[in-house]
Amino acid sequence: MSQREWIEKDFYKELGVSSNASTDEINKAYRKLAKDNHPDANPGNTEAERRFKAVSEAKSVLIDPAKRKEYDEARRLFASGGFGQGGGGFSPGAGGFGGGGGGQTFDVGDIFGQAGGGDGGIGDIFGGLFNRGGTQQRPAGNRPRRGSDVETETTLGFREATQGVTVPLRLTSPSSCTTCHGSGAKPGTSPRVCPRCNGAGVVNRNQGAFGFSEPCDDCRGSGSIIDDPCQDCRGTGVQNRTRTITVRVPPGVSDGQKIRLAGQGEAGLRGAPSGDLYVTVRVRPDKVFGRSGDDLTVTVPVSYGELVLGATLSIPTLDGRVGVKVPPGTVDGRVLRVRGRGVPKKTGTAGDLMVTVKVAVPQKLDDPAIEALHAYLEAEKASGFDPRAGWAGA
Ligand code: ZN
Ligand code: ZN
């Protein structure tokens, strides 16, 4: 989900309240919708689950006066074209996302995630825009937050990596608790909105001219109170699970390359989106082939005679063998190119096969061969060939 889509999200519409609804009205609407769409009441209903998460997200923003104000302002700015594509103050980095180059996808999880290492809410995004110089303290509690990204590694054979392969990956990582669907509350019960902070997770305190907000003690910043914690996850909404996922590795992947699998990382806490999974691919070297970018390299042993007279060699490729013509008079170490027989590319085409010829010198010959070689050297000299003519100043 892009940042634009996120701002286009209508939290008011999601909760079915007007844009000037009071906190009480918002809480009331949330409680009804959360109950109606609770996964316990709608087993297997993905639309209800989506709604359940969406109304939680909407509530968590609208219930917090500071966040709500920022959200309203952002939407107003957005509607008036204040967020230009690129160049504006809303590009990654400027708003505190950190990392990343241009053109990277940005999804809603990043808002609640640990971009920048913090435990930020929506304020992190708009912080750079609206809170310049502000020192608002973020609650350090366990409000819904995106799951962590997970990194793992897989090792592939050379040919698997070049041709593409589907591999099973076993992962042990925290996942959404299956018993409570990530809510943290015992099945049949729901978390209730924290009465002290009205679900905001922070309480405001006024001292003189300054207002401070600090994490709510009653709910430890989560905004909700679980009276009956789920026993399987002890109220965290997260369980450690071993799962096997199937990863399709595209053709042409090279050693050290990373593959991103969106949403396959750690489960988010209490219904928040999951993190991403990054798989670093290790490629085992091959006995025959090497790689240079999209080109496949192979070194083929040849005899001196084959280089002098020319020959057609049968060379292995990733896909059967190919006949490669060595022209007469080819020098040792020459590289012959076979177009389109290299590593497959994303575009559907392939790199080239680069064949290096390398003279193999016989270590043991029988008498007739040795005699013939002596005779040949004489004839070579007689025909005027001197391998060291012009060499080393001679
Ligand atoms: Zn649970
Ligand atoms: Zn509270």
pTM of the model: 0.47
Interval between CA 178 and ligand 2 midpoint (Å): 26
Of 278, 283, 287, 296, residue with least CA distance to 255: 283
Interval between CA 110 and ligand 1 midpoint (Å): 24
Full pLDDT tens readout for the chain, 394 residues = 444 555 667 888 888 888 888 888 888 888 888 888 887 778 778 888 888 888 888 888 888 887 788 778 777 766 655 443 333 333 333 333 333 333 333 333 333 333 333 333 333 333 223 333 333 334 444 456 788 888 889 999 998 898 888 988 888 766 778 888 888 899 989 889 999 988 888 888 776 666 777 888 888 888 889 999 999 888 888 888 787 888 888 888 889 999 888 888 877 766 778 888 899 999 999 999 999 989 999 999 999 999 999 999 999 998 899 999 999 999 999 999 999 999 988 788 899 999 999 999 999 999 999 999 999 999 999 999 999 988 887 5
Interval between CA 186 and ligand 1 midpoint (Å): 7
Distance CA 139, CA 143 (A): 8
| Nearest ligand by distance to the CA of 176 | 1
Interval between CA 227 and ligand 2 midpoint (Å): 13
Interval between CA 3 and ligand 2 midpoint (Å): 29
Interval between CA 198 and ligand 2 midpoint (Å): 7
Interval between CA 221 and ligand 2 midpoint (Å): 6
Interval between CA 225 and ligand 1 midpoint (Å): 14
Interval between CA 194 and ligand 2 midpoint (Å): 5
- pLDDT recorded at residue 6: 54
| Phi and psi at residue 381, to the nearest 5° | -60, -45
Interval between CA 201 and ligand 2 midpoint (Å): 5
Interval between CA 243 and ligand 2 midpoint (Å): 35
Interval between CA 257 and ligand 1 midpoint (Å): 36
Interval between CA 41 and ligand 2 midpoint (Å): 26
- pLDDT recorded at residue 144: 65
Q: In 10 A of CB 38, how many CB atoms? A: 20
Interval between CA 281 and ligand 2 midpoint (Å): 44
Of 32, 11, 281, residue with least CA distance to 158: 281
| Nearest ligand by distance to the CA of 219 | 2
Q: In 10 A of CB 129, how many CB atoms? A: 19
| Nearest ligand by distance to the CA of 181 | 1
**In the chain, alpha helices (H):** 3-8, 11-15, 23-36, 46-62, 65-79, 109-112, 123-130, 158-163, 304-309, 367-382
Interval between CA 381 and ligand 2 midpoint (Å): 98
Of 306, 299, 302, 314, residue with least CA distance to 356: 299
Interval between CA 204 and ligand 2 midpoint (Å): 11
Tokens 């909407």 found at? 58
| Nearest ligand by distance to the CA of 183 | 1
